[in-house]
Amino acid sequence: MSFQTVCDNCGATSGPSLGICPYCKSVMTGAGLEKSQTPAYSTLLKLYRKGQIESALTYIQEVLRSTEKYEDDPALLLLCSKIMIESEGPNGRTRALLGMALMKSPNNTEINDYLEIIQARFELSSDNCQKGVEILERVLRHSPENPHALFTLGAHLFWHDKNSVAAIPYLERCLRVRPQFLRAWACLAAISKELDNPQLAATAFQKCVALETNGKMRKFFQEQLELLSSRKKAA
């Protein structure tokens, strides 16, 4: 069995420990997963790469309501699952999509990783935190650059364990892999503000403003930037 990984973006291959294409820096997927050739996948991938998650969610609903046989397209199902995780979509719905993907590509390591991430999210939300953390750590041992495992663990350390210092490296690694991840930037901004690091907080809030499409939330992030600016001038 080959555990070689294949870049969706440029087609390069590498070992699974890399996680990121050494050539174009895109996140890589397992060789057992064929790249989708459907227009739906191409459209959704463009939205995902730009961080346009709200638009991607709307498009996912259109795809799932269509007459196309999306259940036969594991690459599309995996991509839908990543988008739903980034938007805090329901674990049950995401698990169902990943289950369909696994039926078509049972040996794909990335699909199995995301099923574990969904299980970890369930455990964390059920206050079975130690088990959830162990699952995420297991995923990261063999897929150290998985942005959603990194974010889930970093966010848990910050919001639940109140361990801001420990959370930062996970969020920073997440954002190196997936720089369009709005919720990761927002979490890093909150941590930086708490730790009184105005420079990092300003950078993170600027990214939030650039990525946010909801008017009220964009206004909130802009207000946070203005507060940081006014404090800097007062100092």
For 1-4, which contacts have Cβ atoms below 8 Å and span 24 or more sequence positions? 1/107, 2/31, 2/32, 3/30, 3/31, 3/109, 4/31
- Per residue in 24-53, pLDDT (tens digit) is 455 554 445 667 888 999 999 999 999 999
pLDDT of 114 higher than 90 = yes
| Helix extents (H) in the chain | 39-49, 53-65, 74-86, 91-104, 109-125, 129-142, 147-159, 164-177, 182-194, 198-211, 215-234
Domain positions in the chain: 32-144, 147-235
CATH 1.25.40.10 fits 147-235, yes or no: yes
Measured CA distances, 15 to 146, 148, 191 (Å): 14, 20, 33
Short-list 151, 164, 172, CA closest to 194: 164
CATH architecture of 32-144: Alpha Horseshoe (1.25)
One fold for both 32-144 and 147-235? yes
Determine the Cα–Cα distance for residues 84 and 200; give it in Å rounded to an integer: 27
- Per residue in 127-169, pLDDT (tens digit) is 889 999 999 999 999 999 999 999 999 999 999 999 999 999 9
Percent of all residues in the chain with a pLDDT value above 90, rounded to a whole number: 74
State pTM to two decimals.
0.84
